[in-house]
Amino acid sequence: MAGEQERMTVSAWGGGESPFAVPWPKLMMWLFLLSDALTFAALLSGYAAMRLTAGGWPRQADFFNINFVVGPMTFILICSSATMAVAVGAARRGDRALVARFLGLTILGGLMFLGMQAFEWTSFIREGARLTGWVGNADGGPLPPMFPATFFVITGFHGGHVTSGVIYLIIKAIQATRGRFSAEMVEVAGLYWHFVDLVWVFIFTLLYLL
Amino acid sequence: MREGADAAHGGGRWYQTYVVVWVWLLAFTVIEVGAVALRLERALLVTLLLALSLMKAALIVAYFMHLRYERLNLIYLVLTPLILILVLFGGVIPDALNAFHLRPRP
């Protein structure tokens, strides 16, 4: 049994074979997502350090509408991730009409998320938050400038990912309806979209809830 | 992806797994928001929310991104570098906690 396993390992890494048993675009996407995960981890550890050194931190619920805006945003992004998963499954079955429909739903979810994030940013900026601190903060004492700084940088970086994801999916949806279509390319796009949802899980918890 | 992904669906429809994962993700999110609304004790809240986030992340990676059905080589390739995230936090947090002692007292 051990000999058999050794033989298999040697042959898998011996060249002329794909040790990961995935097509290269998928492997490259995984590697990109790993580097991206570490970038987000760097941003979030920076956030943790700034929050710990700030001394005090405002209650997020005083600035953000968790129950009626941020919660539903999270809900929508999870739903768009689920529709993307169905699109990938449909692509694997070669059902191109279903792929186009579910890619459309995913794009719609992404756009709704972006719209709500824009609303959230607008109301936060109206309350005096800026990238480097606060303006016109009359009562309630000084607020830590790291609060808006980390918020804008991290949600902005994530929003940029959602925006490029929406563009990416629009291109894939157009290609799917025009015939330039492969199950693999939908799956690779799906990996990216799920990753964006995955990162939001942590941003939602760390920036808004804790 | 290997053929296992479809076999794992058993007798149900092919999208059954996605629906189940979707429902769990939403349920975890509702629990998270509910825990905050209940104003649980801080340490308990932090532990609970971090645990729930990690479980949500695991569900997304394993089922939506199909990592569960990939070859073990790829699973290791994806998961091992994540140790660096722990190293990152482990390096930054003690320093952040130390900052108060380094500041000149007023």
Q: What pLDDT, on a 0 to 100 scale, did the predictor assign at position A93?
A: 92
Within 10 angstroms of residue A64's Cβ, the number of other Cβ atoms is: 17
pLDDT tens figures, B35-49: 999 989 999 999 999
User: What parts of chain A have a pLDDT lower than 50?
Assistant: none
Q: Which residue has the higher pLDDT, A17 or B57?
A: B57
Inter-chain Cβ pairs, chain A and chain B, closer than 8 A: 130
Asked if A41's CB is within 8 angstroms of B88's CB, the reply is yes
Write the residue in B50, B60, B73 that is nearest to A194 by C-beta.
Answer: B60
Is the predicted ipTM greater than 0.90, yes or no?
A: no
Q: What pLDDT, on a 0 to 100 scale, did the predictor assign at position A139?
A: 57
Query: For A15, phi and psi rounded to 5 degrees?
Result: 95, 160
Asked if B25's CB is within 8 angstroms of A78's CB, the reply is yes
Task: Report d(CA A172, CA A182) in Å as an integer.
Answer: 10
Q: What pLDDT, on a 0 to 100 scale, did the predictor assign at position B85?
A: 94
Task: Report d(CA B68, CA B18) in Å as an integer.
Answer: 13
Beta bridge partners of A79: none
Q: What pLDDT, on a 0 to 100 scale, did the predictor assign at position A141?
A: 66
Q: What pLDDT, on a 0 to 100 scale, did the predictor assign at position A61?
A: 87
Q: A87, A206, A185: which is closest to B50 by C-alpha? A: A206
Q: Is B40 exposed, middle or buried (0-12, 13-18, 19+ CB in 10 A)?
A: middle
pLDDT(B11) > 80: no
Asked if B1's CB is within 8 angstroms of A205's CB, the reply is no
Q: What pLDDT, on a 0 to 100 scale, did the predictor assign at position A19?
A: 80
Distance from CA of B10 to the nearest CA of A (A): 15
- Taking the CA atoms of A70, A112, A131 and A167 in sequence, report the sign of the dihedral they define: positive
pLDDT tens figures, B61-102: 999 999 999 999 999 999 999 999 999 999 999 888 888 777
Residues of B in contact with A42 (CB under 8 A): 88
Asked if B78's CB is within 8 angstroms of A34's CB, the reply is yes
Question: What SS3 state is found at A58?
Answer: coil
